[in-house]
Chains A and B, each alone.
Chain A
Amino acid sequence: MDPKVKLELERLRADDPLGRSEDPFADFREVLLLGLEHRFRYRHSLGKSSRFFLALEEGVLLATRCERCGRVWLPPRPVCPNDLQVTRWTELSGKGTLESWTLCPRAPHYARTGEPYLLAYVALEGVSTLFLHQLRGVGPDALQHGMELHAVFGNEPVDHPLERFWFEPLEL
Chain B
Amino acid sequence: MDDVVVLGCGLSPFRSSRFDGSIRDWVAEAVLAALADSGLEHQQIDQSLMAYESDHLAGQIGQGVIWHDTLGLTPRPTARIEGCGATGGLALRSAFAYLRAGLSRCLLVVGAERVGKSVSTATAGEIFAMSSDTDWEFPVGGHFTAYYALLMREHMRRYGTTEEQLALVSVKNHGNARYHPLAQKPKELTVDEVLASPLIASPYKLLDCSLLSDGAAAVILANRSWAQANVPRFSERPVVALTGSGCATDYARAGDRPRDALAHFTAKRLAGEAAYAMAGISEPLEEIDVAEVYDSYTGAELMAYEALGFCPPGASGPLSEEGVFSLQGELPVNPSGGLLGFGAAAGATGVAQAVEITAQLRGEADPRRQVAGAKRGLSDCHAGTCTVAAVHIFERKDI
* B20 contacts A15, C-beta separation under 8 Å: yes
Is A137 an interface residue, CB under 8 A from the partner?
A: no
Give bound CA distance, A33 to B137, whole Å: 34
B202 touches A112 (CB 8 A): no
Is A7 among interface residues, defined by CB-CB distance under 8 A? Answer: no
Chain B residue with the shortest CB-CB distance to A33: B19
A29 near B20 with CB under 8 A, answer yes
Docked CA distance A36–B119 (Å): 10
- Among B126, B135, B150, B198, the residue within 8 A (CB) of A49 is B135
Name the interface residues of B299-325: CB closer than 8 Å to any CB of A: none
Interface string of A98-132 (1 = CB under 8 A from B): 01111111111111110001011101000001111
Contact status B153-A31, CB under 8 Å: no
Interface pair B137/A14, CB less than 8 Å apart: no
Given A121-B150, A132-B255, do A162 and B143 touch, yes or no (CB 8 Å)?
Answer: no
Closest residue of chain B to A165, judged by CB? Answer: B140
Chain A residues within 8 Å of B199, by CB:
103, 105
* Neighbouring A residues of B15 by C-beta, 8 Å: 17
Q: Report the minimal beta-carbon distance from A122 to chain B, rounded to whole angstroms.
A: 9
Supposing A108-B122, A113-B141, A121-B255 touch, asked if A17 and B13 sit within 8 A by C-beta, the answer is yes
With an 8 Å Cβ cutoff, the count of chain A residues facing the other chain is: 50
- Within 124-138 of B, Cβ neighbours of A (below 8 Å) are at 125-126, 129, 133, 135-138
Q: Is A59 an interface residue (CB 8 A)?
A: no
Inter-chain contacts of B59 with A (CB < 8 A):
36, 38
In the bound complex, residues from chain B placing their C-beta under 8 Å from that of A14 are 19-21
**In the complex, are the beta carbons of A134 and B259 less than 8 A apart?**
no
B172 CB-CB contact with A under 8 Å: no
Cβ-defined contact, B140 with A132, below 8 A = yes
Query: Using Cβ atoms and an 8 Å threshold, which residues of chain B touch A117?
Result: 141
Partner of A112, one of B141, B153, B157: B141
A20-37 contact mask (Cβ, 8 Å, vs B): 1 or 0: 000001001101010010
Sample of 11 A–B contacts (CB below 8 Å): A36-B59, A100-B150, A101-B150, A104-B200, A108-B125, A108-B129, A121-B255, A129-B253, A130-B254, A132-B142, A140-B202
Interface residues in chain A, defined as those with a beta carbon under 8 Å from any beta carbon in chain B: 12, 14-18, 25, 28-29, 31, 33, 36, 38, 46, 49, 73, 75, 81, 99-113, 117, 119-121, 123, 129-134, 140, 145, 160, 162-163, 166
